[in-house]
Amino acid sequence: MISRYTTPEMGSLWSEEAKFRSWLRVELAACRARATLGEIPTAEVEELAERADFTVERIEEIEAETNHDVIAFVTAVAETVEAKGAPDAARHFHFGLTSSDVVDTAGALRLRDALDLILDEAKRLALLLCDMSLDHRGTAMVGRTHGVHAEPTTFGHKLAVWAFEMERNLERLAHAQEAAAVGKISGAVGVYANVDPKVEVIACEELGLEPAPASTQVIQRDRHAEALSTLAVLGSTLEKIALEIRGAQRTEVRELEEPFGRGQKGSSAMPHKRNPILSERLCGMARLLRGYAQVGFEDNALWQERDISHSSAERVVLPDATTVAHYMLRTARRVLSGLRVNEERMLENLNMGGGIVFSGRVLLALVESGMSRDDAYAVVQGAAMRAWEGEGGFRELLRKSEEARTRLDDGLDGLFDPAYALRNVGAVFERVRELKGRIEGD
C-alpha cells in the first residue's frame, strides 16, 4: 500500500524485516518443541536461538540466485549461526519442515496482529458513535427514505444505527481473527512424514496459535477469505457513514460538514469550496476492500495438495486490505470527532413545506376521529401535494380543508410537534448505553 494510506503501526507490521522476524519465531518455536520432546539437545537449541539472525539485504542477495525466498532465508540464518561458531546448532534449523510450515504459520501471526490493530481502532470508533448518539439523542432532524423527506428522527438515532452495526463488525472481526490464528507444522503434504505432530502442538502453543486440525502443504484459504470478506463488510459500513455525511454536506442540505482545517483549500479554481474529501476517500477505498475479498475467494481453490497461485496475490492483498481497513477506521474517527452538526439547518429542513413530514400523524388523527382511511389519505395527500407545489404550507392548507378543520379543530397544532413523533425513541438510547458498556467491558 502506498505510504499515503499506511499507518505507522500497520506499515511496521507488514515490513520485510517483520516478515522474516516472524519466520524466525516459527523456526525457533519448532526447534524448541523438538527439544521438549527430546529429539535434539536443549543446549544446542538455546545456542541456536542466541545466534540466529539475518539481514534483509543478505536474504535478497541469496534469493536473487536461488529464486526461492524461504531457502534464501534459511541459508542466511544458517550462515550467521555458523559464522558465530555454532555449526552443530545450525543443522537443526528448518529440519523436517516445508516452506509453507514457516510462511503460513508466520503469516497467521501477522494477520492476527493486524486484526488486533483493526479491532482496537474499530472499538474506538464504536465507542465514539455511542457517545455521539447519546449527545445528539434530542437533535431533531428529518428522516429520509429514497432521499425524500419522510418523518422526524434524531441525529442520535442515525448514529445509534451505525453504532450497532459497528458492534456486529466487532463480532465478525473477532471471529475472523480466531479463524485466521491457526498454524501448521505438518510437512510437505500435511501428513507429518518428517515431523512429530506434537511439535506442531507445542510450537503453536508457544506462538499463541491453534494448530490446524488437518492441512495440506498449506493452511486452508477459507480462513483468509473470511478475514478479507469481513474487512469488506467493515468497509461497507464506513462507506455508509461517509456517504451519509457527503449527502448531508451538499449545499442545499448543509446539515453536516466534515472538518475543514485551518489553511485547507477546497479547489484550485473556486475558493469558496469546502468539499467532503475525506468521506469521498472512504467511499473510494471501500471498493478496494471488496476487490481484495474477491481475491480471497479465488485463493481458496488450489490444485490438489497445493499450488502457489495464491501466494503472489496474498503478498499484496493481505497487507493492503488490513492497511486500508486500519486507515479507513482512523479516518472515519477523524471525520466524526470533528464533525460539524448544524442543528438549526436540521430544524429548517424538518419544517420545510410547512410541516409536510407530519402527514402520517395527521392521517392517523383523522382515522382516529372516525374518517375512513381512504378518505383521510385523500385529504392529507391533497394538502401535501399542494404544499409540494408551493401553494402554501402544509399546516395552513390543512386548516383550509373543511374535513380536516372540522375533525381536528384545535388539536391540529399538536400533531406538528417533533417531540410527539419521537416520544418512544428513548428506548433505542437505553440500548446504546448498554452497547457502550459491553464494548468497554470487552
User: How distant, in Å, are the alpha carbons of 355, 363, 376, 406, 413 from that of 382?
Assistant: 14, 12, 10, 16, 19
Q: Which of 103, 126, 16, 136 is closest to 428 using CA atoms? A: 136
Amino acid at 73: F
Active-site annotation holds for 272:
no
If you average pLDDT over residues 254-273, what whole number do you get?
72
Domain with CATH 1.20.200.10 in the chain: 99-258+266-346
The arithmetic mean of pLDDT across residues 22-40, rounded, is: 97
For residues 335 and 280, the answer to whether their CB atoms sit within 8 Å is no
CA distance 221 to 179: 10
Distance in angstroms (rounded) separating the CA atoms of residues 356 and 377? 14
The pLDDT value recorded for residue 419 is 84
Whether the pLDDT of residue 244 is over 70: the answer is yes
Of the pLDDT bands very low, low, confident and very high (cuts 50, 70, 90), residue 270 is low
Mapped onto helix, strand or coil, the DSSP state of residue 70 is helix
pLDDT value of position 120:
98
Catalytic site residue 146? Answer: yes
Average pLDDT for residues 200-216, to the nearest whole number?
97
Say if residue 269's pLDDT is above 70.
Answer: no
Q: Which of 3, 146, 268, 272 is catalytic?
A: 146
Domain limits, CATH 1.10.40.30, in the chain: 351-411
Weakest mean pLDDT among 87-96, 157-166, 253-262, 270-279? 270-279
pLDDT of residue 201: 98
**Which pLDDT band holds residue 162 (cuts at 50, 70, 90)?**
very high
For 350-390, how does the pLDDT look when each residue is reduced to its tens digit (9 = 90+)?
Answer: 998 888 998 999 999 899 888 999 998 999 999 899 998 88
Number of Cβ within a 10 Å radius of residue 73: 25
Long-range contacts of 20-24 (CB under 8 A, 24+ apart): 20/54, 20/56, 20/59, 20/73, 22/106, 22/107, 22/109, 22/110, 23/70, 23/73, 23/102, 23/103, 23/106, 24/52, 24/54, 24/77
pLDDT at position 221 is 94
Point out the catalytic residue in the list 267, 309, 312, 372. Answer: 267
> What's the average model confidence in pLDDT over 222-237?
98
Burial of 244 (0-12, 13-18, 19+ CB in 10 A): middle
Parallel, antiparallel or unpaired: strands 210-211 and 256-257: unpaired
Q: Is the pLDDT of residue 439 over 60?
A: yes
- Residue 389, number of CB atoms within 10 A of its CB: 8
**Assigned superfamily of 99-258+266-346:** Fumarase/aspartase (Central domain) (1.20.200.10)
Q: Does residue 400 have a pLDDT over 80?
A: yes
**Residue 46 · residue 36 · CB < 8 Å:** no
* pLDDT tens-place string over residues 298-317: 999 998 888 888 989 999 99
Whether pLDDT at 117 is above 60: yes
Averaged pLDDT for residues 147-158: 94
Looking at residue 41, what DSSP letter applies?
-
Pick from 33-47, 321-335, 398-412: least confident: 398-412
Tell me what the mean pLDDT of segment 262-266 comes to.
64
What is the average pLDDT across 173-178? 98
**CB count in 10 Å sphere of residue 4:** 7
The percent of residues in the chain predicted with pLDDT above 90, rounded, is 78
How far is Cα 382 from Cα 42, in angstroms, rounded to an integer?
Answer: 89
What percent of the chain clears pLDDT 70, i.e. is strictly above it? 97
The pLDDT confidence band at residue 268, using thresholds 50, 70 and 90, is low
Is residue 264 very low, low, confident or very high in pLDDT (cuts 50, 70, 90)? low
Tell me, what's the pLDDT at 206?
Answer: 98
From CA 205, how far away is CA 242, in angstroms rounded?
41
314 and 321 in contact (C-beta within 8 Å)? no
Is-contact 339 159, C-beta < 8 A?
no
Please check the confidence at residue 158 and state whether its pLDDT lies above 90: yes
| Superfamily of the domain at 351-411 | Fumarase/aspartase (C-terminal domain) (1.10.40.30)
> Among 272-281, 405-414, 426-435, where is mean pLDDT lowest?
405-414
Please list the residue range(s) of the chain that carry CATH number 1.10.275.10.
Answer: 3-90
* pLDDT value, residue 415: 86
Query: What is the C-alpha to C-alpha distance for residues 135 and 156, in angstroms, rounded to an integer?
Result: 7
What pLDDT shows up at residue 273?
A: 63
Which amino acid, 94? H
40-44, 98-102, 126-130, 268-272: segment of lowest average pLDDT: 268-272
Q: Does the domain spanning 3-90 belong to CATH 1.10.275.10?
A: yes
What pLDDT, on the 0 to 100 scale, is given for residue 86?
81
Task: Render pLDDT for 321-359 as a digit per residue (tens, 0 to 9).
Answer: 999 999 999 999 999 999 999 999 999 999 988 889 989
Higher pLDDT, 213 or 422: 213
Report residue 31 as a C-alpha cell. 526447534
Residue spans of beta strands (DSSP E) within 110-156: 140-145, 148-154
